[in-house]
Structure 1
Amino acid sequence: MFPDPGASRAVLIGTSAYDFLEDLPAVSNNLTSLAELLTGPTSWSLSRDDCVVLSNPPSATAAMNSLRDAGATARDTLLVYYSGHGLVTPDGELYLGLPQSKQQRVETGIPYSWLRAALLEGRAERTVVILDCCYGGLALGTMGPSELAAQADVEGTYLLAAASENRQALAPPGESHTAFTGELLAILTTGIPGGPERLDLDSIFRELRKSLSAKGRPVPQGRERNSNGRLALGWNPVFSRTPMPSNPIDRDGDHRAWPDPASILTVEGFFNALRQVRVTSALTHTAISHRSGGQIATGTVGSLLNRKDLPRTWRTTGVYLTACGLPDGQLSDWQSCWERLRSALSAGNVPEPDKSQDQGVKNRVSSSWGRTFRKLAGRRPSD
């Protein structure tokens, strides 16, 4: 399942330049690449404002303010990522390095206990924590990877920890990204052959362990709470689907991973899920129009998927979902979701999407959606 992008947030923190520790220039690339992925159509489709990037934050206070703001507004999923030096005190307390951090001086970094407390105070239903950090200096070897994962554990959170054993393994010379994040990005952009349609956290974790181990690099650690391992970070570009027949499908035997309307919290999430339906169906806009028996035109399909405001009537959406091959038993759930959002809008409980975006930007985004999803579908069905 994908989170609702309108009710989810990401905070990406990275320190690449240090006054007293070795610089990690690859961390800057980590932040840029991960932000592009999370705001793109093949992953969570977060808005730029909802994916906060903190590169070389000046203080723990600055980082914690952004983290708490995100935790207070995220109702679906909150993702927190850190890349840089992970340090430990003589008492074994983990703290995350900042530009002026020093060894064994927890006050010079972000104590993980602070981050932990902020996560527990947040409103998000699910939390994902990704720690791409090493210990550095005298801390090397003082804490095993499993102990790092245990210290970072938070109830209700899925944790991915690189837990690298030495600095060089974390940021290999000549590579654009650190070892752990580079492998994570590679999995999300090239996919997992034979893997699921959606790249969920459990599948990504297994692939990370396998691929990094094969390269002789530190094996990451993972912890799961509340079945968050089924949460998807992206579509699998190399997912293989049996071609759909030209005749109407047997919906009773349809076991494809359709989006769950029960997880939709916002209007933005509603349209994001509608676009996921099209990807799952592997149909072009023209093919959907054809399968609707001409009830909706090709242009109407595109207009529906690129809307920002919730349709005032159900008919077009219902025809679209049926033409995509959604099982009949799920249509009522989708209509209930639409009715719930309409009622919330009438009551003023759901903010209307921002319609002030530049038209050129919207056109580029729409074009990008089409190109990317055609690639993900792996084929162009005949009309």
Structure 2
Amino acid sequence: MSRFDPRGRVNRALVVGVSEYDHTAPDPQGVTGQLPAVRHNRTGLEDALHRGAVFGAGEVRVLASPTPDDFTGALRRACREARGLLLLYFAGHAVTSTSGNELHLQMRTARVLTGHGLPGSVSFSQVLGELAESRAEQVVVMLDCCYAGNAAGIWHRFDDPKRKKHKILLLMSVQPNRCILGGDADAPTPFTREVAHVLGAGGEVWLSGLYGAVKKRMAEAKYKAEDNDPQRPQALAPPWDSDDVLLAAGPLNPPVPVDGPGPSRWSARLRRALGAARKALGRLGRTGPAAVLVLLATGAAGYGLMVLIDDPAPCRPPLELRVLTDPDLEPAMRAAADAYLGSDANTTGDGCRHGGVTVYSAGASGVVTALGKRTDAWQQPREDDNPQRDIGPQPDVWIPGSRADVRRVTAAQEDRVFARLEPDTGPFAYSPVVLAVPEGLDGAVERTGRTLSQLVTGLVKAPGEAEVRRPDPESADAALLATVGLYGDGADAATAERLIARPGRPEPSAVGLLCSLPDTDAVDDRSAALVPEFLLRSGVGCHPATRAPRTAVYPEDVPGLEPTFVRVRWEDGDRDAGARDEEVDRFRSWLTGDEGRGVLGEQGFRSAGGERRLLDAEAAPRGLLDDVPPADAADPSEMDTALERYGNAHGPGRVLFLLDSSGSMAGLWDGPSGGPGILKQTLPGLGGEDEYGVWAVHGLGGRTHTGLLDFGTHARREAERALDAARVRDAEADPSAALLDALDFMRERAAADERPQLIVYLTDGEDDNRLAGAARDEVVERARTSGVPVVMVTLNSGACDRDRPGTLVAEAGRGRCLDAGDDLVPALRDEVARTGTGEDR
């Protein structure tokens, strides 16, 4: 490494501050106490990073008191997205193992059990593992917690054969084996206070300079750790004379702009400077000498003013607004909040901030449920019901992706409601939900005038290997609105869902989906994505060099995103209601005014009304339409119904395995590549709530199969024992009769719900002569109308060639044909996992 300047790269900062804990003393399993000072740590460091100008809009994410899953999920996301600098900051409780060889960062749910169990914690070794595998070129970790200095020893002991850990540099708040004081509720903790001060002071701040300045300031202030020990920050980094990292490069003293004869641009700054001067002059009589110099200069171009004050009055901590939004909207709302924080609208006459804005997101369906049915638990969290843990702090402002969400909340609210919603009369921006098709595949679909179901079906059936991907409808409104359209042509949910590619868990947001597709070029080139249109402009920062160009296709039956400003008022939350209302109104006026619309235009949004033109049409990226066809507004009941159907289609599944047990299978029976062994390898895709069974297929007359495993729920070991007991029969098989029986059997079970179903028929193909002619046609027609996908698996090559029986049956049932020419076991395992709820889900 040499001197690393990350400006202009894709950077990420993850600021994690755990100020609230679910379990604290006197609970014997609790941590020592709450950490209110960490609230100031979060806001102070976030502000300093923004002012430092190394991290751009949307590149700083703050996690307030996360759970371990929230933390690790956000860490993985930051590791995946960062290409330049990745900065991780943690403040909160931490403990070491009894040997001192491990440091455990304690998240919101942390407990300490007898025997040194530490649920709710994340080991620093795990954090190092994630950071070492990140795509960032350089990583800086800042720890403000007890035993922070122990992290250096863990770094040295970390097993790193590929030498990836050397890009990770550490800045620690205290020497090894020392605890620090938790501070109080009025100010940040000492280490973070000094870090934020140095980073936010202006000019270039390199890691070496930051460490030196913070160390000096802490020594001069004589900060103490526990037991009255001096608190000395630590660093683990290469020699500063050759290697360093730039962390801030903000302006020292930005000049006052002079815009011409009109006073509109400079008058606010003039008033601010004069106010500061008046305050300084007023202090002369109270506090003794102070140097105040006011210089006024006039000229043809306008006015300039400089105020030099020896003892400026400190700014009061600004009131912090909590803004909860949809996961897809979070980067755009962060960019807007960043611009607002430094705007004239948010600046007092003394140059201080009126308020701060913390933007965070949570799954849309969870937010709707919490605001509709769980507001009491939000105010008084319980172990089994804790929206503060699952979603975040009680919001002052909610910006959902659709105004329909407000009606979904009010329809769900019960007698005891502790939060009152006050939505604006309409949305402040608009973005259609589009099918973003890679260039080269866009010729297979028309840009407008088609339903989403028609577009997806046409794209999947077009020549090539096109796939359609969608984020999680339970997490983001855009994905749920797309699902409304996907189910809109009368298709059953299970059938419609099989048109969506699902390699593992879906991404929680369209932002994450667009950032993950370029991980593999081939996947990026063949994958159409259901995403909000605005992300085709703003959501590309994570992979600027490798992303496949995409064309927006506009389904006629999918409502668009309509972000709406909603004031949330909480019962007994009126201690500062007047000041909070004032800050909310100020932020709303800015966001919906010219400056806010300008930022939203840069993010790719359209006007909320009229012809819905792009707010920044001059910078419209290639692949978008200037005029978008109108779409109906989202309907709350349709959204709720689609969400329920989606849950059913991805809930506990049903799988019926048909295992050819005729005599010809004798040579393909034993071992992991034999029939029973292959089926055993699919069982991890099935969970305890899935229903499944196994039929042994044999016999030509009367009964065509016998049961190996009764249809129902099973422990995996029970299913494995049944397959181990399977035997080859001295008989032939009738695949057509067995398949007809299986289709009838599964159709009866699907009559009352839309749970995912699958039939798997595994054979050597020896008896395919009985799956021909009229018998084959009957099976194909039954498979086409049953709605149950059929996977035909043949242990010989060529069985999936065009017009072969297995191919025809699988295509009719919207399933898959696999033979020995495929990577058979992983492919079959994936098909079962898509239906079941086991380990692969």
> Which TM-score band applies after superposition, normalised by the shorter structure?
0.5 to 0.7
Q: Tell me how many residue pairs correspond in the alignment.
A: 239
User: Is 2:179 aligned against 1:166?
Assistant: yes
Structure 2 CA distance for aligned equivalents of residues 347 and 200 of structure 1: 30
Q: Tell me the residue number matched to 2:245.
A: 230
Higher strand share: 2
Which of 188, 202, 205 is equivalent to 2:211?
205
**Is contact 2:37–2:185 with CA below 8 Å preserved after alignment?**
no
Structure 1 CA distance for aligned equivalents of residues 194 and 549 of structure 2: 38
**Is contact 1:39–1:45 with CA below 8 Å preserved after alignment?**
yes
Q: Which runs of 5+ in 1 are unaligned?
A: 136-144, 192-196, 240-343, 352-356, 366-383
Measured after TM superposition, the shift of residue 348 of structure 1 is 5.6
Q: How big is each residue's C-alpha offset from its partner over 1:266-289, in whole Å with a ceiling of 9 and x where there is no partner? A: xxxxxxxxxxxxxxxxxxxxxxxx
Inter-CA distance 76–228: structure 2 relative to 1 (3 Å threshold): farther
Measured after TM superposition, the shift of residue 29 of structure 1 is 1.6
Measured after TM superposition, the shift of residue 347 of structure 1 is 8.3
Structure 2 CA distance for aligned equivalents of residues 17 and 109 of structure 1: 14
Which structure has more RCO (C-alpha within 8 Å, separation ≥ 6)? 1
Structure 1 CA distance for aligned equivalents of residues 220 and 15 of structure 2: 28
Q: Tell me the residue number matched to 1:39.
A: 50
SS of residue paired to 1:360? helix
Inter-CA distance 95–80: structure 2 relative to 1 (3 Å threshold): same
Worse-superposed segment, 71-80 or 227-236: 227-236
Inter-CA distance 23–346: structure 2 relative to 1 (3 Å threshold): closer
SS of residue paired to 1:124? coil
Indicate the percent of aligned positions where both proteins have the same amino acid. Answer: 25
**Is contact 1:26–1:178 with CA below 8 Å preserved after alignment?**
yes
Question: Which amino acid is the alignment partner of residue 17 of structure 1?
Answer: E
Which of 112, 115, 118 is equivalent to 2:127?
115
Q: Which runs of 5+ in 2 are unaligned?
A: 24-29, 157-164, 224-230, 255-542, 551-590, 601-841
Question: Which amino acid is the alignment partner of residue 63 of structure 2?
Answer: L
SS of residue paired to 1:11? strand
Measured after TM superposition, the shift of residue 89 of structure 1 is 1.5
Structure 1 CA distance for aligned equivalents of residues 597 and 44 of structure 2: 22
Q: How big is each residue's C-alpha offset from its partner over 1:76-115, in whole Å with a ceiling of 9 and x where there is no partner? A: 1111110011211113210101123234433330111111
User: Is 2:195 aligned against 1:184?
Assistant: yes
Measured after TM superposition, the shift of residue 173 of structure 1 is 3.4
- After TM superposition, list the pairs within 5 Å mapping 1:33-112 onto structure 2: 33-40=44-51, 42-48=52-58, 50-58=59-67, 60-92=68-100, 93-103=102-112, 104-112=116-124
Inter-CA distance 147–67: structure 2 relative to 1 (3 Å threshold): closer
Higher helix share: 1
Question: Which amino acid is the alignment partner of residue 166 of structure 2?
Answer: E
**Is contact 2:103–2:123 with CA below 8 Å preserved after alignment?**
yes
Inter-CA distance 362–129: structure 2 relative to 1 (3 Å threshold): farther
TM-score where L is the length of structure 2 = 0.26
RMSD across aligned positions (CA) = 3.3
Structure 2 CA distance for aligned equivalents of residues 10 and 350 of structure 1: 27
Measured after TM superposition, the shift of residue 205 of structure 1 is 0.2
Inter-CA distance 146–176: structure 2 relative to 1 (3 Å threshold): closer
**Is contact 2:35–2:183 with CA below 8 Å preserved after alignment?**
no
Inter-CA distance 47–24: structure 2 relative to 1 (3 Å threshold): same
Question: Which amino acid is the alignment partner of residue 134 of structure 2?
Answer: G
Inter-CA distance 79–228: structure 2 relative to 1 (3 Å threshold): farther
SS of residue paired to 1:116? helix
Bigger Rg, structure 1 or 2 = 2
Inter-CA distance 29–345: structure 2 relative to 1 (3 Å threshold): closer
SS of residue paired to 2:187? coil
Inter-CA distance 362–203: structure 2 relative to 1 (3 Å threshold): farther
Inter-CA distance 350–95: structure 2 relative to 1 (3 Å threshold): farther
Structure 2 CA distance for aligned equivalents of residues 215 and 116 of structure 1: 32
- After TM superposition, list the pairs within 5 Å mapping 1:191-270 onto structure 2: 197-217=203-223, 218-225=231-238, 229-235=244-250, 237=252
Structure 1 CA distance for aligned equivalents of residues 185 and 237 of structure 2: 33
Question: Which amino acid is the alignment partner of residue 173 of structure 1?
Answer: D
Worse-superposed segment, 85-94 or 103-112: 103-112
Q: How big is each residue's C-alpha offset from its partner over 1:326-347, in whole Å with a ceiling of 9 and x where there is no partner? A: xxxxxxxxxxxxxxxxxx9898
Measured after TM superposition, the shift of residue 46 of structure 1 is 2.2
TM-score where L is the length of structure 1 = 0.55
Q: Tell me the residue number matched to 2:620.
A: none
SS of residue paired to 1:230? strand
Inter-CA distance 187–4: structure 2 relative to 1 (3 Å threshold): closer
Inter-CA distance 77–115: structure 2 relative to 1 (3 Å threshold): same
Question: Which amino acid is the alignment partner of residue 11 of structure 1?
Answer: L
